[in-house]
Amino acid sequence: MEMNKLIDHTLLKPDASIEAIKKLCEEAREYQFASVCVNPCFVPLAAEMLKGSGVKVCTVIGFPLGATLPEVKKYEAEKAVEAGAEEIDMVLNVSMAKEHDYDYIEKEVKLVKEGCHGRLLKVILETCLLTDDEIVECSKASVRGNADYVKTSTGFSKGGATVHAVELMRKAVGPNIGVKASGGVHNRAEAEAMVKAGASRIGASCGVQIVKE
């Protein structure tokens, strides 16, 4: 298993320094990770550093709460793409998910997908806040909204990825949509367990450690 090709090498801390982002990009280039995932303000730097490397630049939208207006999320996505982002990880509106307003979720995802202008869109469900049924229905609504991936977690709430959530999401979206396990994946064994459960991408801040094991 080429684990490096499944990893989004991630640094989303609010106090991340420019030097730390540079190191992240250097590591991503060296280990040939799938992408780096950084906050929007660092997209231009990451895009410049990773030009020609084959490593994608991913950023986050509506992060970490998902409570901003859909139109604002679309604008965020558009600006991120203009700055060089090739993948967009958006947080869905968790409040609307808890209200079971899946039409809202679908329309919001569809709007942000328009803002991606053909770039890959991953929808973060924040599974630790949802019931099993809500995970399934949010996954299905995201697919109806033209998401390319569903993703477990921001890493900023009360829990991260679980094998159970990944299994639910994979079953809900079928074989042709990506599933990203993110938040709390610390080592090779945990990453492999997520892949076995159906994950096709791993979001992790310790990607180097995972591939070295």
Domains of the chain with CATH codes: 54-201 (3.20.20.70)
Nearest to 37 by CA among 18, 62, 55, 15: 55
The pLDDT score that the predictor gives to residue 75 is 98
pTM: 0.97
Angle between the N-to-C axes of helices 102-116 and 132-144, in degrees from 0 to 180, rounded to the nearest 10: 40
Q: Is the pLDDT of residue 14 over 90?
A: yes
Q: Amino acid identity of 210?
A: I
Mean pLDDT of 42-47: 98
Give the 3-state secondary structure of residue 89: strand
pLDDT tens digits, 98-116: 999 999 999 999 999 999 9
The residues annotated as belonging to the active site are 89, 151, 180
For 21-32, what is the HEC assignment?
A: HHHHHHHHHHHC
Give the 3-state secondary structure of residue 203: strand
Question: Distance (Å, rounded) from C-alpha 47 to C-alpha 36?
Answer: 10
Percent of the chain with pLDDT over 70: 100
Extract the tokens encoding 72. Answer: 């604002």
The pLDDT score that the predictor gives to residue 213 is 86
Question: Distance (Å, rounded) from C-alpha 19 to C-alpha 16?
Answer: 8
Extract the tokens encoding 204. Answer: 């992790």
Mean pLDDT of 68-80: 98
Question: Distance (Å, rounded) from C-alpha 210 to C-alpha 196?
Answer: 16
CA dihedral sign of residues 150, 155, 156, 160: positive
Mean pLDDT of 185-203: 97
Q: Is the pLDDT of residue 1 over 80?
A: no
The pLDDT score that the predictor gives to residue 156 is 96
Mean pLDDT of 113-138: 98
Question: Distance (Å, rounded) from C-alpha 109 to C-alpha 84?
Answer: 21
pLDDT tens digits, 135-175: 999 999 999 999 999 999 999 999 999 999 999 999 999 99
The pLDDT score that the predictor gives to residue 186 is 93
